[in-house]
């Protein structure tokens, strides 16, 4: 099921299957609810089983910008990386990260303090396994003996539409089909519950007629 199809399905539930151009559930709002509900479902799956089905993962290849690199550092830096889902406060949705054409998976590091400790560990340094530090705000650092330019990630992103290769209109939304009913329940019992109690605007006149007129001053 594509994201627009999910929008039609979920956006129509509180209004009895009726969507018009005047509906208070605009597409951007429904999309954000879908992403939030998906993140909640992923987190619950992880807490229960320690596993997340492959369908939730997307492939992303960060762009290496040579002018953004610092020659005096031992890492390659990547920008504009979509935000990852947090699974349990410690683990992120980063399933695999490595270099294109290589089978070596990089080691994920949680913070700079851990990175500094590992960089000073003689055993780990001898292994020479690249390490990746996810900083947030779209920034990632990859520590390696050699410059890493062609990186590949398989991850669960907070907003799947931020992945450039994802086609909103044609690609299947990255969620397991059996979890869609859970998504509907989560959304209806949460963010949409209070709004759905108010009358729905069933007159297609590009304004919400359920909002009472404001008194004149």
Which pLDDT tens digit goes with each residue over 84-125? Answer: 998 887 778 888 888 776 667 788 887 777 777 766 666 555
Cβ-contact 57, 37 below 8 angstroms: no
Give the containing element (helix H, strand E) for 160.
none
pLDDT over 90, % of the chain: 31
Q: What is the pTM of this model?
A: 0.76
Report the number of secondary-structure helices (H) and strands (E) in the chain: 6, 7
Cβ-contact 207, 20 below 8 angstroms: no
Nearest CA to 145 out of 96, 98, 75 is that of 75
Lowest mean pLDDT among 12-21, 103-112, 125-134: 12-21
Q: How far is CA 55 from CA 42, 106, 154, 160, 176, in A?
A: 11, 22, 11, 12, 6
Q: Locate the domains of the chain by residue range.
A: 1-55+159-210, 58-155
């Amino acid at each position: 099921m594509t994201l627009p199809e999910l929008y039609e399905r979920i956006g129509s539930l509180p209004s009895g299957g009726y969507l018009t151009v005047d509906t208070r559930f605009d597409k951007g709002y429904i999309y954000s609810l879908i992403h939030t509900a998906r993140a909640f479902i992923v987190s619950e799956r992880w807490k229960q089983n320690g596993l997340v089905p492959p369908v939730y993962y997307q492939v992303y290849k960060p762009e290496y910008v040579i002018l953004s690199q610092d020659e005096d550092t031992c890492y390659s830096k990547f920008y504009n990386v979509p935000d990852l889902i947090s699974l349990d406060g410690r683990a992120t949705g980063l399933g695999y990260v490595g270099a294109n054409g290589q089978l070596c998976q990089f080691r994920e590091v949680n913070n700079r303090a851990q990175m500094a400790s590992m960089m000073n560990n003689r055993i780990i340094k001898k292994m020479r396994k690249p390490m990746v530090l996810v900083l947030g705000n779209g920034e990632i650092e990859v520590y390696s003996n050699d410059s890493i330019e062609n990186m590949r990630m398989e991850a669960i992103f907070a907003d799947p539409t931020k992945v450039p290769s994802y086609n909103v209109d044609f690609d299947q939304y990255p969620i397991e089909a059996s979890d869609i009913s859970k998504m509907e329940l989560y959304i209806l019992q949460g963010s949409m519950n209070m709004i759905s109690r108010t009358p729905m605007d069933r007159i297609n006149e590009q304004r919400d007629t359920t909002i009472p007129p404001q008194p004149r001053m």
